[in-house]
Amino acid sequence: MTTKLIVRRGYENKAAAQGSASAAGAGSAGAATLLAGLHPVLQRVYAARNVVAAHELERSLEHLPAASKLRGIDTAVEVLYNALRHDQRIVIVADYDADGATSCAVAVRVLLMMGAKDVRFVVPDRFKFGYGLTPEIVEIASGHQPDLLITVDNGISSIEGVAAAKQRGMQVLITDHHLPGAVLPAADAIVNPNQPGDEFPSKALAGVGVIFYVMLALRAKLRESGWFESKGLSVPNLASVLDLVALGTVADVVPLDHVNRILVSQGLARIRSGACCVGIRALLEVAGRPQQRIAASDLGFTVGPRLNAAGRLDDMALGIACLLTDDLSQARNIASQLDQLNRERRSIEGDMQTQALAALEKFSGSNLESGTGVPMPHGLCLFDETWHQGVIGILASRIKDRWHRPVIAFAPAMEGSVSWEAGCRERPAASETEMKGSARSINGVHIRDVLDTIAARHPGLLVKFGGHAMAAGLTLKREHFSVFSTAFDEEVRRLLGDEALRGIVLSDGELAPADISMELAETLRSGGPWGQAFAEPVFDGQFQIVNQRVVGEKHLKMLLRPLQDGAGSAPVFDAIAFNVQECSALQAAGVHIAYKLDVNEYKGQRSVQLIVEHIA
């Protein structure tokens, strides 16, 4: 494993300081009562995540902020209400990732529930058209002769695309969550919590969360106007799409603030109870995950990747079809295709990682055991002529995690679409002039702002770019790769010192041997949902490795015994370190391990298991 520093969270000081601050407020007694009634380990976990008030742990829908706080929501509702009253044709312009797919499915399903007569969708071919509502996508959408275009999970930067749609006489409603540029498109309505002047308390909504809120506001308008009675329709229960909202939110790795924790928690509850769409059920089946016990991590690491595989290698319309069908047999058929695509994606990713690691051998640094003495850039750009445009985001994320620095992986821009015949992938032609980059960042570097700064300092260097604080995408002329790589490294160096590049594993402290139990594992599982910015608890301690072996060719299976004072007779615990084969380098005693506490289920038997995050 790469050298990292295990650092314990300062939960004692945080809890004391925040407890003192909240003691002056009327809600302090309720907060104290709330935390005092929890398992002591869960108390310190919540305190380390700045949770000290009772309402922050509420998960019922009544605690969601009102949709009226979203800027532009009233105008958006009027546009939609008018479309329903006049039986207008509505075309959803989706995105090619899991957030875009779930956003599209929510929009289509709910609009049909509300009486829309004609709702269709288009999704860009990422290899041919790229991201967002481009003029080319408007031309494709125009083939459906829409009265209204609704973007989901895209559109906030689509100035030219919106102009093209307006020229063709279409109305445009943008729903998005990405950061806007200096100029907003001239759409009929825009709903985005991150647009200037928006007062919605959560800026972390995923695209699927934004369209869900728009549908909530539309339902309120239709109920108030007597629409459902006049049409003989039942008032839709929008909780029925929260499984989709949960999937898109977790898969897009947005921060799980209080609003998103409510949405994800409610969606998970529906999935566990069996009240989810058959597409999610089929995706869980093909992944071998028991529906009744899934956690947010299952959505992020098993369902999301299979759905995303369609957009990475083929056509996300396949993934959207899986989420829209109500036929279980059809859903299982599509889920099987998505699973095969995901296997292909993993194979491609493995080859790309091997090539990237070989390219990095020339660098030296504190995290590398070899090298020629050339220091690794603070901001790392990688490119290979053979890399797959649909997989570079995953590659950038893997390299970022391993060497703890912002990474942009580039591939040749693809011209034309990808086709699949009998399981054989046909690569589209590579552009000779342009390359696509996918960026992933670390705390302390807002990656979209970095790209914005570079674009301002080097006019014309970037063809286009967009994204979030932690992830972004860009298009670059091939001839500018070297200049851009230098500019990227220089800007990251301005923001990060050498010390910030050392990987850190944040720990919630040590567990007593008695606390390494099924009871605490279950308590922690139910204490979530855990995810981005609300991290699943990680603990650390000294252990003796009683036994170790490699399983599945690349995972290290161990038996561990705690080495605390007075724990000489402590029981041994099962542990596994994924993608680690360094058993020969590990000593039999005195290793420092950071781990998550989990429940392992095998052949109907359940036992506590340590998921090893790092071995020092």
In 153-282, at which residue ranges do the beta strands (DSSP E only) sit?
171-175, 189-191
330: in domain: no
Query: Domain boundary at 502, 528, 558, which?
Result: 502
User: Contact 171/148 with Cβ under 8 angstroms?
Assistant: yes
Closest CA to 180 of 449, 460, 406: 449
- Do residues 438 and 390 share a domain? yes
Residue 408: name the closest of 376, 381, 444, 442 by CA. Answer: 381
Tokens coding 160 = 């030219």
Q: Which residues, in sequence order, are bridge partners of residue 409? A: 382, 438
Domain that holds residue 603: 5-57+505-615
Q: Is 214 helix (H, G, I), strand (E, B) or coil?
A: helix
Does residue 465 lie in a domain region? yes
State whether 156 and 266 are in the same domain. yes
Question: Same domain, yes or no, for 46 and 192?
Answer: no
Tell me what percent of the residues of the chain surpass a pLDDT of 90.
72
Of the candidates 502, 532, 553, which is a domain's last residue?
A: 502
In a domain, 523, yes or no: yes
Shared-domain flag, residues 423 and 518: no
Q: How confident is the model at residue 429 (pLDDT cuts 50, 70, 90)?
A: low
Predicted confidence (pLDDT) per residue in 102-130, tens digit: 999 999 999 999 999 999 999 987 777 76
Residue 335, in any domain of the structure:
no
Asked if residue 304 is part of any domain, the answer here is: yes
| pLDDT at 368 > cutoff 70 | no
Looking up tokens 């995706």 gives 283
Mean pLDDT of 380-384: 96
Is residue 577 domain-shared with residue 468, that is, in the same domain? Answer: no
The Cα–Cα gap between 177 and 195 comes to: 8
The reply to whether 319 and 388 lie within a common domain is no
pLDDT of residue 370 exceeding 80: no
Task: Indicate whether 437 belongs to any domain.
Answer: yes
Nearest CA-CA partner of 593 in 503, 511, 500: 511
Question: In this structure, are 407 and 485 located in the same domain?
Answer: yes
Instruction: Indicate if 472 and 525 belong to the same structural domain.
Output: no
Give dist(CA 344, CA 308) in Å, integer: 12
Q: Which of 137-151, 429-443, 538-552 holds the top average pLDDT?
A: 137-151
Report whether pLDDT(468) > 50: yes
Count of structural domains within the chain: 3
Q: What is the pLDDT of residues 588-605, one digit of tens each?
A: 557 899 999 998 887 778
Same domain, 318 and 369: no
Q: What is the average pLDDT score of the chain?
A: 88
582 pLDDT exceeds 90? no
CATH number assigned to the domain comprising residue 422: 3.10.310.30
Top mean pLDDT of 112-126, 496-510, 556-570 is at: 112-126
Does any domain span residue 181?
yes
Task: Give me the pLDDT at residue 564, please.
Answer: 72
Mean pLDDT of 183-206: 97
| Together in a domain, 102 and 18 | no
- pLDDT per position as a tens digit, 518-548: 999 999 999 999 999 999 999 999 999 888 9
Co-location of 447 and 582 in the same domain = no
- Report the pLDDT value the prediction gives residue 421, as an integer from 0 to 100: 34
Domain of 160, CATH number, reads 3.90.1640.30
Amino acid at 590: G
CA angle at 191 for the pair 177 and 476, rounded to the nearest 5°: 40
Instruction: Give the CATH number for residue 518.
Output: 2.40.50.460
Any domain includes 360: yes
Pair 294, 429 in one domain: no
pLDDT at residue 470 greater than cutoff 90:
no
Note the residue count of the chain: 616
